[in-house]
Structure 1
């Protein structure tokens, strides 16, 4: 997962989850199989209660199976699955059950800790329920109550798309996950990112991890990976901007030690006690940083330059980025104190990271 993108100005268009798309395809494919006719549009009921019509871009069938696809529209969200072709192949069975099978481009769960069991296709509970409800209603409407359906969800190029996600470190191998709890993608949603944080911590704990490395994203993690060669991939968690939510989840887990990497720009906010560090939610307080420097023993007119800096990363122009520099030690100490309040029973080691990858450590 890359570093977070800035939120654009103005109203943003919502989109639809992979789970909603998979449901639309499953319903369309089953309807095509039952009616033996091509389906071009299908309406599904979303978990939030509203209905939406999906365009079916391909539909093929014979007397035994049917397959339909649609193209995902994530709206204005920078979702890696935006534009992906998602599809479903269905076949009637005599068990009366709705069975889920792994299609090409959909991942398989290989580690415990997720909501779906090991060996199952990575189709989350809400999409499974959506598909089950849609299929059972169609069967009932057409007098096929005793029948069940084998549903195979697939995603074109899903294996390639998955490389841009954190699926592999969660033990989801071979493709993307079919996700969604509302059916709607809200652009730049905090809830979806926080859900991925919780999921990552759950997997780490379920697989015996007691030590984590948490970072804002791929860039900061890259700088610290070499310091923890013995830790498995699932022990590395991206907190994005949601430091508070990440630490609160850790506090309720069996994690004993946290190594936290933070870039300079976020650290000046965290030092002041701001736990949501997104630029759209908060800006760095130059007066606070100025006072921090004064309290650290610095004197002189050069301190007034802090008030004219356009970004916190330029503090390195005023204070040499080094382990023994009092300003940075005061900064990282304040960050440590604010984080420790949320995880009082967890050992915390902080790494303040410069843009060139050098770091200052505090424990």
Structure 2
């Protein structure tokens, strides 16, 4: 296990407070966790400069593949008055929220509520009633943030200070799934009730650039299509359009809602089965099955004049997705090639896209 950026910020803040009152420090600092347990964090450095106490802690994510692993989280604190509140601010490398729908209001630094509470609790162990100013800073935070979802979510200028327990447990799939949910919440905060769900970045660009869909209405699901469908239904989203490469979304037509190939990979089987149901000859079915990718097989179907098979697969993906959430939301599907070309769709997707967004798809 490791510890969160929130824990690092709280530990650095407490250490900086102790430096401020000239209290000797060991090589570690102890902070309270939201669970009531306590956590020891190794200190990288401490310093007192004029009215400021300062400290730094290196983020350790344990075995979780967290991009913030190894970053230094710094705090500097000063005493303002003998009695008052704790003011928590984000400095260099901590992002600023610019879009609605997140846990932090627009205009504030991206330090989530639980980390803020942890910083408050840690500081109050040193200064029980005093008015204190706390700045959290992350050298290289702005650079690292470009590799996260923050720019998509409208968090600019740095990383977010996150964590709900203070502890990072090496469950990267669960953490990844939960990291997608702010995109879903943000879409609803912008009053979008028709959402585009895309497996990845290429289909995200296709939706934004070819269809003119606002980026806040596009949610990247990664391989967790079923999970996001369930969360969308729970949040009472009215309509979603699954838009992505046929090799990914054809699995949904087969009732596969975790689309990583190590979980299930029946792409060619689904495509050949539907081609057989449409009466294609055995020679053509064998030819399709020999393609190494669904992209190649789908292109061959189109060359044979059999694009209707791909439309039927898209319609079935929508049907299976609606069954997956017990009909609690409506679903449409658009299937693409890697270059973003649209090759299959159902009537729901066609109608909703035509109704709401740019319509520049030949033959659509």
Aligned to 1:234: 216
Once residues 321 and 153 of structure 1 are traced to their aligned partners in structure 2, the CA distance between those partners, rounded to angstroms, is 59
State how many pairs are aligned. Answer: 344
RMSD of equivalent CA atoms: 2.9
Once residues 249 and 225 of structure 2 are traced to their aligned partners in structure 1, the CA distance between those partners, rounded to angstroms, is 11
Deviations 1:146-165 (A, max 9, x none): 22432211111222222222
Q: TM (normalized to structure 2)?
A: 0.82
Question: 2:312·2:346 contact (CA, 8 Å) conserved in 1?
Answer: no
Written as runs of structure 1 = structure 2, the 5 A alignment for 1:140-289 is: 144-187=127-170, 189-229=172-212, 231-253=213-235, 255-284=237-266, 287-289=269-271
Written as runs of structure 1 = structure 2, the 5 A alignment for 1:79-158 is: 79-94=66-81, 95-136=83-124, 138-139=125-126, 144-158=127-141
**Higher deviation after alignment, 315-324 or 169-178:** 315-324
TM superposition shift of 1:356: 2.5
- List alignment gaps of at least 5 residues for structure 1: 1-13
Aligned to 2:359: none
Q: 1:305–1:46: structure 2 CA closer, same or farther, 3 Å change rule? A: farther
Deviations 1:135-194 (A, max 9, x none): 22x22xxxx432243221111122222222222332322221111112233446233333
Once residues 230 and 106 of structure 2 are traced to their aligned partners in structure 1, the CA distance between those partners, rounded to angstroms, is 27
TM superposition shift of 1:331: 2.0
Say yes or no: does 1:26 pair with 2:13.
yes
Question: 2:53·2:77 contact (CA, 8 Å) conserved in 1?
Answer: yes
- List alignment gaps of at least 5 residues for structure 2: 348-364
Greater relative contact order (CA < 8 Å, ≥ 6 in sequence): 1
Once residues 235 and 343 of structure 1 are traced to their aligned partners in structure 2, the CA distance between those partners, rounded to angstroms, is 23
